[in-house]
Amino acid sequence: MPKYPIDEKMRARLDNDYTYHSPKDDQPSRYTLIRETAKKLAEVIVENVPPSREQSVALTQLEQVVMEANAGIARNE
């Protein structure tokens, strides 16, 4: 018996988070818009921040932002 049983709300979240969500309607164009906009910011970062750990972290976090934003669309529409 697990120490922390999974309640219905968490079960629904897990089912949604770990299910493939095929793109529908205008989602692909919005995914593209988010990626292209983030790429522009990434270019600004690379052009204005010296190569460093901080630059790398900024780019990694920007990549994470894109993934989370696109997941927000996919999982909640």
What CA–CA distances, in Å, run from 54 to 17, 39, 45, 70, 75?
30, 17, 10, 24, 31
Average predicted confidence (pLDDT) for the chain: 97
Closest Cα partner for 59 from 50, 32, 27, 30? 50
Residue 74 has a pLDDT of 97
Residues in the chain: 77
pLDDT number for residue 57: 98
- φ and ψ at residue 18, rounded to 5 degrees: -110, 30
Give the model's pLDDT for residue 43.
Answer: 98
Q: What is the mean pLDDT of residues 43-70?
A: 98
Residues sharing a CB contact under 8 Å with residue 23, sequence separation 6 or more, in sequence order: 31, 74
Count other Cβ atoms within 10 Å, centred on residue 37. Answer: 12
The per-residue pLDDT for 52 is 98
Question: What is the percent of the chain where pLDDT is above 90?
Answer: 99
